[in-house]
Chains A and B, each alone.
Chain A
Amino acid sequence: MRRYFFGLLLIQLLIPTLSAQEWIVPADKKGKLSTFPFNDETRKAGEKLYSINCMSCHGTPGKANYLPLVPPPGDPATEKIQKNNDGEIFYKVSVGRGQMPSFRSVLTSNEIWNVVSFLRSFNTAYKQQVMPVITSSAYPGAVIGLLVSFNPADSTIILKASATSEKSSVPVADAEVKLLVKRTFGMLPVDEPQTTDKEGLATFRVPADLKGDTAGMVLVSARFTDEDVFGSAGKDTLLNAGQKVTPVSLVAQRAMWNNVRKAPVWIILAYGLGVLIAWGFILLVLMKLRDIYLVGEIVSSDKKE
């Protein structure tokens, strides 16, 4: 391991431009293959996804109308991109680099494979290799399930993965699992992804600032990282693992900018008083005018006499 690391370091030192130019994909990710064969259906689905997520930078494949960025995003139909094998394209789309965003949380792995299927349709020399599904060999005919429970003592969430068939139930060991919490616009990861032990158990630490609803409930979703192997087996559970949050309305306080009913008390009083004083004064003037009129009446009647 150490020798391998030093070798890498040496390469980095010798050719400093290499890492800037070449996009190195980890060796274990290179050989990744799609679990399903590419056909017209996957190509069409991929085309749709491509036009939504990729076209704004990469343009239409084969037209070389990509954005003039540095480094250039490139046309996916050209040799530059097509010389990548399937696993490499899959990795680059999901991880991203520099101005190329990561699509890991935008697209599911099946959706990324559909995009790969669409890109390969521009390559006549391409022959697809399909990955044999490991699930069938490891847990033949079994239904893979996940169970999560919250332990308030040390505020951890314990996950149990098991494969249940008609005869027996065996724990799913050495599988990477992740835990997500439902938020308004997406799923918030809890802790790092963990690997299940021999009993199929994995423990996640719940962060102190995980907010729940008014009762402290959160909707927790457990999933396998490797969807290709385990399918999209997931489990959504309501757990009492969050902080209790009592939402406060932002227009609750009395303020100048709030509506009339929520105006500051001193303003209501001052305004009311001002209106009263103004009208009182007008009323006073009218009364005085009436007094003058009455005095005039008396004076004129005195004169007549």
Chain B
Amino acid sequence: MSKKDKEKSSEDPKIDEILESSRRDFLKKVGIVGAASVAGAAAIYSGYRYEHAKSDGESVKVLTEDNRLVLIPKDQMKDYKPDPKRLLLRGRDGIKGKKWVMIIDLSKCRNARKCVNACQGAHHLRPYEYHINTLQMQESVNTPAYHMPKPCQHCDNPPCVSVCPVDATFKRQDGIVLIDNERCIGCRFCMAACPYSARMFHWQEPLAAEADKGKEYDIELNVPQKKGTISKCLFSADRLREGALPYCVSACPNGVFYFGDENENAVTNGTTKETVNLKELLEKNGAYRLMAELGTKPRVYYLPPKNRIFDFEKGEEQEYKELT
């Protein structure tokens, strides 16, 4: 009791009583809270000790991304799920400092169709749904026939992107034209605008609709595919992200495809893994671009079908021969 309190108490006994009782109450409360917090802390501590003891018994070996083997308590494991928003932004942005370019050497293509199969496998497409297709070409009656793989040309002036009303298809800084199946409304304007017929429409439930259910949508792979939306060649953006060559390029058994970065002035053959000077390759072989007169500025170059080392065979006949 301080002096002030004593002075106060001499003034009025009632006030004194109130003060006295409130002090008693206060002390009581402090006591209860103190006891409760001690008990709580004890409980939390014992819980912690229990958890600690429990997880000591069950640890799991986990391999981290940088190849370290670490032990992690089993109860602290969480399933890894990539952040969809981050994936989307990354997919829209593209890879900095790159300018992808593809060269297709028509003198080597003999319609093995391994590029087509690899692509369909990667993007979960049916045998009659194409991101890349090998066409049988013949300009006129007296000129020779040849096979021509035709992926999306990833134009620098893409008409498909200009006409998209919902910003579903877009161009990235590394030159790739992608489509976001989550945004696509299936109006098919882009199919009408594309002079290369490089786009396909999912009229029916996609091939792997059941298997891909619940999978996180990857804008750089177009998987899971969605019914009622457009799908197209992506230059295998997911593989480029890992520094690997596109699916079609590495699947070709005949060395048809070269792929690389225009900024480095070098392209690598998918079959022989030979890296060559891009400008020299284009100049020496008289490269051209499909329908360049349209001003679409394709990023895919073709080397003309000269000095071919095989006879042209119609695809069906050839497949029949392989079967029998």
**Chain A residues near B (Cβ < 8 Å):** 56-57, 67-70, 96, 98-99, 101-106, 181, 183-189, 207, 209-211, 245, 247, 249-252, 255-260
Give every chain B residue within 8 A of A259 (Cβ-Cβ). 167, 170
Give every chain A residue within 8 A of B174 (Cβ-Cβ). 250
Total A-B pairs, Cβ < 8 A: 108
Known A-B contacts A56-B253, A257-B161; the reply to A188 vs B261 at CB < 8 A is: no
Which residues of chain B in 240-298 are interfacial with respect to chain A, using CB atoms and an 8 Å cutoff? 243-245, 253-255, 259-261, 263-266, 268, 271-277, 279
B227 within 8 A of A: no
Give every chain B residue within 8 A of A96 (Cβ-Cβ). 272
Give every chain B residue within 8 A of A251 (Cβ-Cβ). 94, 171-173
Give every chain B residue within 8 A of A256 (Cβ-Cβ). 162
**B199 CB to closest chain A CB, in angstroms?**
15
**B309 CB to closest chain A CB, in angstroms?**
5
Contacting A186 at CB < 8 Å: which of B94, B275, B277?
B275
Please name 20 pairs of A and B residues whose Cβ atoms are closer than 8 Å in the assembled complex, sorted by A. A68-B321, A99-B254, A101-B271, A101-B272, A105-B272, A106-B273, A181-B266, A183-B275, A186-B273, A186-B274, A186-B275, A188-B266, A189-B275, A245-B264, A250-B175, A251-B171, A251-B172, A256-B162, A257-B157, A259-B170
Known A-B contacts A101-B254, A183-B264, A257-B159; the reply to A249 vs B173 at CB < 8 A is: yes
Contacting A105 at CB < 8 Å: which of B172, B273, B310?
B273
A68 touches B322 (CB 8 A): yes
Q: Given A210-B265, A257-B159, 9 more contacts at CB 8 Å?
A: A56-B114, A56-B253, A68-B321, A69-B310, A185-B245, A209-B279, A250-B99, A250-B174, A257-B161
Per-residue CB contact flags for chain B residues 282-324 toward chain A (1 = under 8 Å, else 0) read 0000000000000000000000000001110000000001100
Which residues of chain B in 132-156 are interfacial with respect to chain A, using CB atoms and an 8 Å cutoff? 156
**A296 CB to closest chain B CB, in angstroms?**
43
A247 touches B99 (CB 8 A): yes
Looking at chain B, what size class is its interface with the partner chain? 35 or more
User: With A and B bound together, what is the CA distance between A124 and B244 in angstroms?
Assistant: 40
User: With A and B bound together, what is the CA distance between A82 and B224 in angstroms?
Assistant: 48
Among the interface residues A68, A102, A257, which one has the most CB atoms of the partner chain B within 10 A? A257
Contacting A101 at CB < 8 Å: which of B97, B172, B255?
B255
B52 within 8 A of A: no
User: With A and B bound together, what is the CA distance between A252 and B255 in angstroms?
Assistant: 34
Known A-B contacts A68-B322, A250-B99; the reply to A258 vs B171 at CB < 8 A is: yes
B23 within 8 A of A: no
A247 touches B275 (CB 8 A): no
**Chain B residues near A (Cβ < 8 Å):** 94, 96-99, 110, 114, 156-159, 161-162, 167, 170-175, 243-245, 253-255, 259-261, 263-266, 268, 271-277, 279, 309-311, 321-322
Q: Across the interface, name the chain B residue whose C-beta is closest to A248.
A: B99
Give every chain B residue within 8 A of A258 (Cβ-Cβ). 161, 171
B158 touches A257 (CB 8 A): yes
**A238 CB to closest chain B CB, in angstroms?**
15
User: With A and B bound together, what is the CA distance between A209 and B280 in angstroms?
Assistant: 10
User: With A and B bound together, what is the CA distance between A249 and B171 in angstroms?
Assistant: 11
Give every chain A residue within 8 A of B96 (Cβ-Cβ). 247, 249
Give every chain B residue within 8 A of A101 (Cβ-Cβ). 253-255, 271-272
Give every chain B residue within 8 A of A210 (Cβ-Cβ). 265
A211 touches B275 (CB 8 A): no
Give every chain B residue within 8 A of A104 (Cβ-Cβ). 272, 274
User: With A and B bound together, what is the CA distance between A68 and B318 in angstroms?
Assistant: 9
Give every chain A residue within 8 A of B167 (Cβ-Cβ). 259-260
User: With A and B bound together, what is the CA distance between A187 and B173 in angstroms?
Assistant: 25
**B271 CB to closest chain A CB, in angstroms?**
5
A245 touches B272 (CB 8 A): no
Known A-B contacts A99-B309, A250-B171, A251-B171; the reply to A188 vs B277 at CB < 8 A is: yes
Contacting A250 at CB < 8 Å: which of B114, B172, B266, B309?
B172
**B102 CB to closest chain A CB, in angstroms?**
12
**B166 CB to closest chain A CB, in angstroms?**
11
Give every chain A residue within 8 A of B268 (Cβ-Cβ). 183-186
Among the interface residues A96, A185, A189, A207, which one has the most CB atoms of the partner chain B within 10 A? A185
Give every chain B residue within 8 A of A260 (Cβ-Cβ). 167
B264 touches A184 (CB 8 A): yes
A247 touches B263 (CB 8 A): yes
Q: Across the interface, name the chain A residue whose C-beta is closest to B318.
A: A68
Q: Across the interface, name the chain B residue whose C-beta is closest to A255.
A: B157
A257 touches B162 (CB 8 A): yes
Give every chain B residue within 8 A of A181 (Cβ-Cβ). 266
User: With A and B bound together, what is the CA distance between A56 and B322 in angstroms?
Assistant: 12
